[in-house]
Structure 1
Amino acid sequence: MERALASGRRISVLFVVHFKEVWTSLEAVYSLMCEDDRFSATIAVINFSMLGETPGNGWQIARMLRNSGYNFVDLSYRSDADINRFLDNLKPDYLFRQTPWEGSFPSPLKTGALIERGIKLLYVPYNMHIVDHPDVTINQEYILNTSLYFCFCQQHYDDYKEKSLANGRNAVLTGSPKLDRIVTENDIRNESIMADRTYCVMWAPHHSVDANHLGFGSFPRDFSRILDFAATNPAIKFLFRPHPLLEAVLSSSFPEIFRNYGVFLEKWNSLKNAETDRNADCAPGFRESDCLITDGISFLVEYQIAGKPLIFIDNAPDMKLTSVGSRAKAHASIVHSMSEALDVVTRLRLEGAPHQQSTNPAMEWLRPFPGQAAVRIVEAIHSDFVAAGSGGS
């Protein structure tokens, strides 16, 4: 894409990657910038901890990116001094972080240090703005200081502008690259679906099993029931997709349950009709499955947009949801136990596979610009750069 800036230099954009499971929120943006000579895009990999565990996941991210053919700078074991030198040399105009919480970001990549450097901050939400808890979500220091905060639908945009302590000054309505990818993957499945294929159930338990932290995860009381059901229903395929932080939570706070988790995994993976989905990208598992059981809020939007039934084990019915969360929940099958969820699975299977559609018409409001999210994000960054007087079109 030959559209060089009149200033004669490219817009330098740094993608700080530390959470492989949410890379799909940014991947299409990075890929477009690599093909656009207005931009110079760089990926930097770091170690990171979300819940206080010892940071050490950089090698996994590096392997994922390498397998996908992406170039990157590995800062996962570099000192703060090295990271500062890297930033001194790169001089990025803009920077994406995958998560807004300061957590274990190296000091040079914390919000305050980035602001001092004059780097403009960017954020594409990897989650779908389900829980109405602005102090934990949209009013984090990083988001409040972003130059551009990319909203995925009109409801998200309106809610952000209303509840942001920054008065929504940085909000831009673009759509979600992650949702676009899920729909694209589902299109592939619909083109190749076989009438005699095995009915497939995905189970995605959340990590919030601690009553002191949200507390809507019910894995400890659910795993035995679904294990027994899978063992006695060999004609159904099961995909177990645990939240990326579930194991860390169990190992650090619930050692007895963690021991049981190990036994469960061994039994689960020994079944011919059960698998564990460790793919960083959720879209292929969504494509393969016919319905989803979850106790978490993460997939309320993502799975349903693919036009398939979601069975939601509602362990926190009084949780305050955003308008996005309320609308998404209204289209799910609400149950209150794993036994009830499996009853719904039995009914759905008897009714047959979901309609062969790439999206759920009732959820089309979530994609105001179908297939265009990444393009709109790239153009918004270019427009911001030009408006600041840094370049020409």
Structure 2
Amino acid sequence: MSTSRPIRVTFLTFYYEAWDALAGVYELMRADARFDVRVVAISRRLTGEAGFDDAAGVSAFFDRLGIEHQVNADLAGLFDGAAPDYIFVNYPWQRNYAPQYRPDALAAVARIAYVPYFSLPLVQEPVDGVNPSSGFEPIAAHLYTQRMHQVASLVFTQDEFTRDAFALTQRGNTHVHFVGSTKLDQLVADYAAATEVAGVAGGGAAGADAAGADAPSKTLLWAPHHSYSSHWLNFGNFVQIHEDMLHWASEHPDWRVILRPHPFLFGTLIDRKVMPAGELESWLNWWNSLPNTSIDVASSSAQVFAQASHILTDGISYLAEWPLATGRSPIFLEHAGHWEFSPLGEVAAATAHKISMIGELDAAIALMGLGFDRVIELAELHAAALPNPGRTAHRIVEVVAADFEAGSDLVDVAAITEIPWELQSNREPLE
């Protein structure tokens, strides 16, 4: 379908913490005469929160980046009265979207293009989606069977295994493209820029030796995950070790400790009654009172990585992202009974120094100080996770251009009869 007008593309997001999944595509399209690009910041309700916010946080984020945007705009008339041709999203969980921006509403306006908000699928899912004792499936069902996946015109995956899983669905996988990870490409590039500004050498697996030599001294990044139960991932250790970490920080005044909580952590702890609100508030007051501790929820992952010499994480994404960006091994505080790693997750976990309690942290740091980064494992992860480093966003742009030229139709949402993952039994309700 040849046309003289630019392709109208909207980047729609509330999950600005993962804007790096879309940033490279946005920058390329913004500089490409084939595209007319608009950005829309929308309200969100994260897990554990009672209602939707006013989008002030995501709007402020775009302001800091100097990205022109609209807030909670009417998409149907966004382009001087015309609708977009494509709406890019980086987040599939529809319960966190206001109703007017949920998948069916978006698909009625334009072609949805979904780029995953996370870097890599590192964990397997229980076969029945609920009970880990039933065994695990190789590709988690929520990675390809949510409503956003079902009604997207274009889906971009970071690995061939997820692309192949889409073939099992009603629509198949002709609309699914294995392109690599925009998030990881952006992370590696941003980390290199952040370390250059900070005067830190290296970055990425190829620069591991330099990065290890010149990284900031004695700064520990502590990144706890929000999962806490065998019903969902079960990686988080915050409740078990938060007092131990407070003690460790107080006993190591020569160390700077940056707490980087998962965005859902504190809200989920209270909402799910894992910790009393008063206990968490008291702990946070103690943490913030120490001279060598801080909490960073504003910096990008690359920026906070560039401030640290070591990372302690019990979570998932940073277990792969830290070694890919920095070329250094993470310290993995492994929670007994966590859900099984995917094959790619096993590769990522192999790069780490594993500990089971904070009492083992000093020994792990000492071992790394002797140069015991897992060099072979780091190289294997780099090869598996970055098959086409630095080119993922370019590939996405060309797929969109080709799809528009071919004149693809909007998805007929009424024809999709499969029950989406989030509406199956034992899932969280939309409201």
> What TM-score, normalized by structure 1, do the two folds share?
0.86
Q: Residue 132 of structure 1 is aligned with which of 107, 124, 135? A: 124
Task: Please name the residue that 1:362 is paired with.
Answer: 380
CA distance in 1: counterparts of 2:99 and 2:75, whole angstroms: 9
Q: Deviations for 1:58-77, whole angstroms, at most 9, x for unmatched residues?
A: 101101101111111111xx
C-alpha change, 1:288 and 1:233, in structure 2 (3 Å) is: same
CA distance in 2: counterparts of 1:342 and 1:153, whole angstroms: 36
Q: Specify the SS of the correspondent of 1:259.
A: helix
Task: Please name the residue that 2:334 is paired with.
Answer: 314
Q: Specify the SS of the correspondent of 2:19.
A: helix
Contact kept, 8 Å, 1:20 with 1:280, in 2: the verdict is no
> What TM-score, normalized by structure 2, do the two folds share?
0.79
Shift of 1:22: 0.6
CA distance in 1: counterparts of 2:232 and 2:108, whole angstroms: 33
CA distance in 1: counterparts of 2:114 and 2:232, whole angstroms: 24
Q: Residue 179 of structure 1 is aligned with which of 181, 184, 205? A: 184
Name which of structure 1's ranges 100-109 and 55-64 shifts more when overlaid on structure 2.
Answer: 100-109
C-alpha change, 1:129 and 1:57, in structure 2 (3 Å) is: farther
Shift of 1:202: 0.9
Paired residue total: 376
Q: Structure 2: give runs of 5+ residues left out of the alignment.
A: 126-139, 201-212, 410-431
C-alpha change, 1:346 and 1:271, in structure 2 (3 Å) is: farther
Task: Please name the residue that 1:95 is paired with.
Answer: 87
RMSD: 2.8
C-alpha change, 1:181 and 1:196, in structure 2 (3 Å) is: closer
Task: Please name the residue that 2:400 is paired with.
Answer: 381
Matched, 1:303 2:322: yes
Contact kept, 8 Å, 1:185 with 1:287, in 2: the verdict is no
Q: Which amino acid aligns with 1:112?
A: D
Q: Specify the SS of the correspondent of 2:155.
A: strand
Q: Specify the SS of the correspondent of 1:103.
A: helix
Task: Please name the residue that 1:121 is paired with.
Answer: 112
Q: Specify the SS of the correspondent of 2:57.
A: helix
Contact kept, 8 Å, 1:22 with 1:280, in 2: the verdict is no
Q: Deviations for 1:168-205, whole angstroms, at most 9, x for unmatched residues?
A: 32221222222112222333466523859422211111
Contact kept, 8 Å, 2:48 with 2:270, in 1: the verdict is no
Shift of 1:389: 6.8
Task: Please name the residue that 1:20 is paired with.
Answer: 16
C-alpha change, 1:331 and 1:65, in structure 2 (3 Å) is: same
Matched, 1:62 2:68: no
Contact kept, 8 Å, 2:13 with 2:42, in 1: the verdict is yes
CA distance in 1: counterparts of 2:153 and 2:92, whole angstroms: 14
Contact kept, 8 Å, 2:332 with 2:355, in 1: the verdict is yes
C-alpha change, 1:126 and 1:316, in structure 2 (3 Å) is: farther
Matched, 1:339 2:344: no
CA distance in 2: counterparts of 1:308 and 1:257, whole angstroms: 36
CA distance in 2: counterparts of 1:83 and 1:386, whole angstroms: 22
Shift of 1:235: 2.0
Q: Which amino acid aligns with 1:61?
A: V
Q: Specify the SS of the correspondent of 1:136.
A: helix
CA distance in 2: counterparts of 1:196 and 1:316, whole angstroms: 31
C-alpha change, 1:104 and 1:274, in structure 2 (3 Å) is: closer
Identity %: 27
Q: Residue 330 of structure 1 is aligned with which of 345, 350, 354? A: 350
Q: Deviations for 1:347-385, whole angstroms, at most 9, x for unmatched residues?
A: 32x326979x9x942222211111112111111111111
Task: Please name the residue that 1:248 is paired with.
Answer: 267
Shift of 1:226: 1.3
Q: Structure 1: give runs of 5+ residues left out of the alignment.
A: none
Contact kept, 8 Å, 1:28 with 1:374, in 2: the verdict is yes
CA distance in 2: counterparts of 1:329 and 1:139, whole angstroms: 26
C-alpha change, 1:218 and 1:369, in structure 2 (3 Å) is: same
Contact kept, 8 Å, 2:12 with 2:40, in 1: the verdict is yes
Contact kept, 8 Å, 2:22 with 2:182, in 1: the verdict is yes
Task: Please name the residue that 2:150 is paired with.
Answer: 144
Matched, 1:239 2:258: yes
C-alpha change, 1:185 and 1:111, in structure 2 (3 Å) is: closer
Contact kept, 8 Å, 1:155 with 1:323, in 2: the verdict is no
